[in-house]
Each structure stands twice: as C-alpha cells, then as structure tokens.
C-alpha cells in the first residue's frame, strides 16, 4: 500500500454518509482506509462495517470504549500498512482526487512530511486557510516551521494533524503518537515534536481538505475540563524542548505561543463552565508565574492590546 488513511469515528453516524462518499471519490488500489470506531453508541459501527470503497483495502477497528481522538488516531496509525499515512476526521471530507495528489506530493519531494492548505466550513460559509509558509513545493528545514521571531505566525501555529501526509517512518520513530490522555490540543504537541525532530518537510498548495467547524457536541465547543488540556499539551512541549539542544533557540517562541493560547481561552471564557474557568485562571497564573519573566513581559508587549490586557490581569 502506498497510502494509509486513518479515520477515527466516535458517534459520527450523522456525518458519515457524506464523509464516506468523499472517501469513495478518492479510492485507489494503493490506498487503505483504517476506520476506527472509538466506542460509538450510535450507528457508526454499522456504517463503517458496510463501507466499500470499490478500490483499495478497508480495515475496521473497534475500540470497546472511547479512547478519544488522540487514542483512536494512535490505534489506527499503529495498524497502518502504507508507505505514507494521513488522517481524516469523521465529520470532514475531501474533494475528489485529493488523496492521490497528496501522496504524489510527498513521494515526489522525498521529505518526512508535507503540509497543505485547507477549507474551513461553518454551515454554508466557506473560508480558505493557508499554511503560514510562503515557500511552496520545496524541501525545508522543519526548524524553520518553529522560527526564532516569536511574534511571527509559523507552522507550529498551524497544527492540524489532518492537514498533512507523513512518511510512516515518523510513526516508527514515535513522532505520530500522542498521549491519549490529551482530549484537546493534541495536534499542537504533535506539530512541535515533528518540527523539532523530523529531518525535512515541505508545504504545497494543495487545497482539498474540508474542515467542519462549530459542530454541536464537538470538543471545540464544549466547556468542561477537557478544554484545559492545552496546559498539559504545552507543558509536554516545554519538557521536550527543555531537554533538547534547541531550547535557547526556540524558548521565546514557545513562551509566546503558550501565552497566546492562554489569552485565547480567557477571551473565550463564556463557553467554560464556572468551575472550569476558576481552574483555568488558577493554572494560568501558575503557568505564567513559572515562565521566564523577561520573556513573558516581551511577549505581552508584542501582542495586540486586547490580548495584552487579558494577560496582564493574569500575570
């Protein structure tokens, strides 16, 4: 198999007819579909078990109880037989012919992973989101995707695991496996690890992934303690960065990125349950207090006034 597509599914029956139609429109003899039913309680299992792409190979894996997105991806990634691996969330879809072109891109460029642009959808609205790298279709140093100018938006700020295709050797090196206890922000940990430890990557102007936002019940809309897992994700990034030889080079970017997420969650505090928001503010103050004061001050000075004010109330 050339390409494995891991599709984690949890109670996704209402989306799967459209998603599986897009999958069939991308079927090829050298593509395998790894469908992970992550403890679903609706008709997801029935839909997955009768899925027939017409070409290629299909594997259905059932998790008796839900592991969460990171855990389900881990299970599917471990089962992949392809030379390359990519991801599809169960409520998203591809344009016809997208996957063969995606596989062609990494094969032709000979890099560890390739990132692409995507389309975000919310209801009937569509918006194109470009990966924040202007150098397209060429081999790049993954460290460039972190950057040494903290205020600059870089590839670690574009962390979507599904907006890429990966050489399977990254899995074998442990770079595609994320702590399953992370229920949100798992993609950010994966992105930082890839850009710290992979040898090469590229960005191509391939637009064919449609990402559905603001889905009722999705983890991006809930207000419970899972929203706070970004603390755990960034703490893990910090531990890995501290233990590396690249600490001094990327510490300022790490601090600013961490503070930016804290500001975002405080600005969006209305969605958090009251007790969760109290926990958030406590952890935010602890985190900011543990970061280097000079880098915190510089980061706040470089932010827009609204975020700077938010962080100043927590510092």
pLDDT at 223: 79
Q: Taking 70 as the threshold, does the pLDDT of residue 220 lie above it?
A: no
Which are the contacts of 248, defined by CB distance < 8 A and separation ≥ 6?
A: none
Predicted confidence band of residue 275 (pLDDT cuts 50, 70, 90): very high
As a whole number, mean pLDDT of residues 286-310 equals: 95
Q: What is the rounded CA–CA span in Å between residue 117 and residue 97?
A: 15
pLDDT greater than 70 at residue 217: no
pLDDT single digits (tens) 119-151: 999 988 999 999 999 999 999 999 999 999 999
Contact 209, 202 (CB under 8 A): no
Instruction: Identify whether the C-beta of residue 99 lies closer than 8 Å to the C-beta of residue 28.
Output: yes
Residue 126 DSSP symbol: E
Secondary element (H or E) of residue 104 = helix 98-109
**Residues 173 and 297 grouped into a single domain:** no
Tell me whether residue 71 is in a domain: yes
Q: What is the domain range of residue 60?
A: 3-212
What local confidence, expressed as pLDDT, does residue 221 receive? 59
The confidence band for 60, taking pLDDT boundaries of 50, 70 and 90, is: very high
Quick one: pLDDT at residue 147?
96
Predicted confidence (pLDDT) at residue 216 exceeds the cutoff of 60: no
pLDDT of residue 119: 98
Residue 158 has pLDDT above 70, yes or no: yes
Q: Average pLDDT, stretch 248-258?
A: 97
- Of 136, 151, 156, nearest in space to 246 by CA: 156
The predicted structure's pLDDT at residue 17: 96
Band (315; pLDDT cuts 50, 70, 90): confident
For residue 61, give both structure tokens: 């894996």
How many domains does one find in the chain?
2
Q: Within this chain, do residues 173 and 241 fall inside the same structural domain, yes or no?
A: no
Q: What is the CA radius of gyration of the chain?
A: 20
Given pLDDT bands bounded at 50, 70 and 90, which one contains residue 67? very high
Beta bridge partners of 167: 84
Average pLDDT of the segment spanning 154-171? 98
| Neighbouring C-beta atoms of residue 245, cutoff 10 Å | 6
Distance of CA 162 to the CA centre of its chain: 6
Which residues sit opposite 121 in a β-bridge? 126, 212
Examine residue 218 and state whether it is found in any structural domain, yes or no. no
> How many CA atoms are closer than 13 Å to the CA of 279, on its beta-carbon side?
13
pLDDT at 218 over 80: no
pLDDT at 271: 86
At residue 219, the pLDDT reads 57
Q: Could you read off the pLDDT of 72-126 as tens digits, one per residue?
A: 999 999 999 999 999 999 999 999 999 999 999 999 999 999 999 999 999 889 9
Across 44-141, the runs of DSSP E, i.e. the strands, are 57-63, 84-87, 93-94, 113-116, 118-122, 125-129
**Mean pLDDT over the full length of the chain:** 95
Residue 219 in any domain: the answer is no
Return the pLDDT at 270.
87
Sheet bearing 201-204, strands edge to edge = 57-63, 31-38, 3-9, 84-87, 164-167, 113-116, 201-204
Element spanning 108, H or E: helix 98-109
Which of these three, 145, 180, 212, is where a domain ends? 212
3-class secondary-structure state, position 115 = strand
Q: In the Cβ-directed half-sphere of 200, how many Cα atoms lie within 13 Å? A: 11
Same domain? For 150 and 290 the reply is no
- Write down the pLDDT at residue 18: 95
Instruction: Classify residue 220: in a domain, yes or no.
Output: no
Kindly give, in sequence order, each residue whose CB lies less than 8 Å from that of residue 223, ignoring residues fewer than 6 positions away: 271, 272, 273, 276
Residues 203, 231, single domain; the answer is: no
Rounded CA-CA distance 58/68 in Å is 21
User: 48 is written with which tokens?
Assistant: 């997955």
Domain boundary among 188, 212, 236: 212
Residue corresponding to tokens 């949100």: 184
The mean pLDDT value for 247-255 works out to: 97
At 136 the pLDDT is 98
* Lookup: tokens for 310: 């938010």
Q: Write the CATH number for 60.
A: 3.90.550.10
Give the predicted TM-score (pTM) of the model.
0.94
CB neighbour class for 42 (10 Å; exposed up to 12, middle 13-18, buried from 19):
middle
Give pLDDT, residue 213.
85
pLDDT tens by residue, 25-43: 999 999 999 999 999 999 9
**Is 133 part of a structural domain of the chain?**
yes
Q: Are residues 57 and 95 in the same domain?
A: yes
Nearest Cα neighbor of 157 from 179, 175, 177, 133 is 133
């Amino acid at each position: 198999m050339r390409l494995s597509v891991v599709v984690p599914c949890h109670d996704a029956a209402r989306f799967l007819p459209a998603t599986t139609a897009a999958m069939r429109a991308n079927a090829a003899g050298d593509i395998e579909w790894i469908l992970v039913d992550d403890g679903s309680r609706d008709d997801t299992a029935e839909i997955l078990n009768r899925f027939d792409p017409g070409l290629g190979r299909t594997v259905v894996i059932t998790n008796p109880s839900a592991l969460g997105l990171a855990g389900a991806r881990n299970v599917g990634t471990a089962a992949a037989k392809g030379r390359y691996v990519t991801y599809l969330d169960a409520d998203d879809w591809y344009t016809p012919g997208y996957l063969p072109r995606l596989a062609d891109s990494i094969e032709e460029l000979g890099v560890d992973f390739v990132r692409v642009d995507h389309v975000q959808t919310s209801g009937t609205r569509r918006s194109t989101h470009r990966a924040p790298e202007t150098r397209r279709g060429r081999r790049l140093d993954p460290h460039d995707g972190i950057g040494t100018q903290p205020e600059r938006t870089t590839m670690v700020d574009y962390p979507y695991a599904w907006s890429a295709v990966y050489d399977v050797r990254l899995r074998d090196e442990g770079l595609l496996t994320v702590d399953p206890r992370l229920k949100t922000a798992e993609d950010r940990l994966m992105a930082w690890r890839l850009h710290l430890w992979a040898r090469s990557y590229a960005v191509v102007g391939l637009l064919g992934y449609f990402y559905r936002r603001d889905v009722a019940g999705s983890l991006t809309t809930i207000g419970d303690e899972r929203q706070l897992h970004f603390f755990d994700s960034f703490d893990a990034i910090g531990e890995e960065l501290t233990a590396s030889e690249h600490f001094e080079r990327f510490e300022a970017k790490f601090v600013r990125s961490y503070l930016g997420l804290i500001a975002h969650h405080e600005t969006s505090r209305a969605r958090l349950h009251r007790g969760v928001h109290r926990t958030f503010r406590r952890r935010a103050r602890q985190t900011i207090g543990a970061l280097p004061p000079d880098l915190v001050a510089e980061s706040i000075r470089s932010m827009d006034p609204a975020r700077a004010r938010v962080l100043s109330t927590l510092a």
